Amino acid sequence: MQSLKIADRLFPLVLSGEKTHTIRWREARIRPGLMRYACDGDQQKTVVVLVTRCTDVPLSQAAALVGKQDIWPDTIMLSGMREHYPDIELDDIVQVVEHLTPQRTAVEAGVSG
């Protein structure tokens, strides 16, 4: 199963269903289907989600793609992404990975955890 590590502070947001996407730059390519998130600080904490769409866009367009343009203007987006990718620029192509909540994944794909 494909997998990605996720920052400790973001893992609970995936579990609750509040976070249903991730933005990646120069990492392993993700494709639609099941994916396991592993908490970066505790690899024993994992959750399975169903990836529904993967889109390559410039970082400057990623917030609008997931409906967050009002809360993630370019300066905020760039600052947040540079926490993980110090060399990223707004014109760099990122992969936006959208997925169902863990709860919907359990219903739709018959899997959990």
Question: DSSP 3-state assignment of 76?
Answer: helix
Q: Examine the pLDDT at 98 and tell me if it is beyond 90.
A: yes
What percent of the chain stands above pLDDT 90? 93
Is-contact 90 74, C-beta < 8 A? yes
Q: What is the DSSP letter of 84?
A: T
pLDDT band of 110, cuts 50, 70, 90: confident
> pTM for the complete prediction?
0.92
Cα distance between residue 101 and residue 84, in whole Å: 23
Mean pLDDT of the chain: 95
Question: DSSP 3-state assignment of 108?
Answer: helix
CATH of 2-109, one of 3.30.390.10, 3.30.465.10, 2.30.130.30, 1.20.1600.10: 2.30.130.30
Cα distance between residue 51 and residue 81, in whole Å: 21
- Per-residue pLDDT at 112: 64
pLDDT band of 64, cuts 50, 70, 90: very high
End-to-end Cα separation, the chain, in angstroms: 13
